[in-house]
Structure 1
Amino acid sequence: MTETWTFGGDRTAVTAQEAVAVLRRRIGEGRRETWLTGSTGRLLSVVSNTERALVMLLDGADDPGSHAVSVGSAGASGGFVLADGQCDTYPDQDTVPLDEAFRIVRHLIGTGLPPTDTGWVVDG
């Protein structure tokens, strides 16, 4: 069975392209933290500051997960606003440019795996 993905409590499965369109809309509306739920129980999170994004994949609610990285990036970026209003700053190496985040989400939803050319770190 192929894994399907939905946004939050919504039960309507989305395609990879639809997911990116919804992410773009949500970020444009100022809703910068978004969670998708896979039919296998996995969770995909995208937290953006409109220029970069923290993209995390968890095997379940209790899993520390893994996240996309920008190997060799220096510095840090702020403005990552969570749903509860908390505003975080992350090292740029732990985030990716927004267009790269969209590419990662499309690939994850389409294939179930991160792109092989993306830096990826297991958290824990």
Structure 2
Amino acid sequence: MIESWVVDASGPVPVSSKTVLEALRSRVNSGRLETWLTSSSGRSLAFVTNTKRAMVMLLEEEGDPGEHAVDPGAQGSSDGFVLSNGQHDQYPDEDTVPIGEAFELVEQIIGTGSWPTDACWAVDR
């Protein structure tokens, strides 16, 4: 079975690896910095950005601590990660990636169901 993904706020219309970046950019440009995508197999993909860096998390099921993209060796931290509930978060830069890389990661996961072979991520389980 091929896994399909939807942006939670958009309803039942699936996004593809070709359309997901347009959807993410549109949400970011309108100030919605947190996006959750849900797959037909029950997995979730989170994308939270401050417009420069992004936290990308892949969860297997509800309650799963999941795994997230990392930037080994990155120094410092960044704030401005605004969640849909109004919470403002700050993350160590090593736990986020530059936004361009985050877009590529999301595109790959939506298209293939897995991280790119050259991506760095941490398993939080």
Scaled by the length of structure 2, what TM-score is found?
0.97
Query: Structure 2 unaligned runs (5+)?
Result: none
Q: What is the aligned-residue RMSD (CA, Å)?
A: 0.8
Task: Give, in whole Å, the separation in 1 of the partners of 2:119 and 2:47.
Answer: 15
Task: Give, in whole Å, the separation in 2 of the partners of 1:116 and 1:79.
Answer: 29
For residue 65 of structure 1, what is the amino acid of its counterpart?
G
Counterpart residue number, 2:50: 49
Task: Give, in whole Å, the separation in 2 of the partners of 1:74 and 1:116.
Answer: 24
Match status 1:95 vs 2:114: no
Moved over 3 A (4+): none
Counterpart residue number, 1:11: 12
Task: Give, in whole Å, the separation in 1 of the partners of 2:105 and 2:94.
Answer: 16
Scaled by the length of structure 1, what TM-score is found?
0.97
SS at match of 1:16: coil
SS at match of 1:88: strand
What's the CA shift for 1:17? Answer: 2.1
| Number of equivalences | 124
Task: Give, in whole Å, the separation in 1 of the partners of 2:118 and 2:75.
Answer: 20
Range that drifts further, 14-23 or 50-59: 14-23
Range that drifts further, 103-112 or 7-16: 7-16
Q: Kindly, what percent of the aligned residue pairs are identical?
A: 52
Instruction: Report 1:1-124 matches (<5 A).
Output: 1-8=1-8, 10-124=11-125
What's the CA shift for 1:92? Answer: 0.2
What's the CA shift for 1:62? Answer: 1.1
What's the CA shift for 1:27? Answer: 0.5
Task: Give, in whole Å, the separation in 1 of the partners of 2:88 and 2:119.
Answer: 26
Query: Structure 1 unaligned runs (5+)?
Result: none
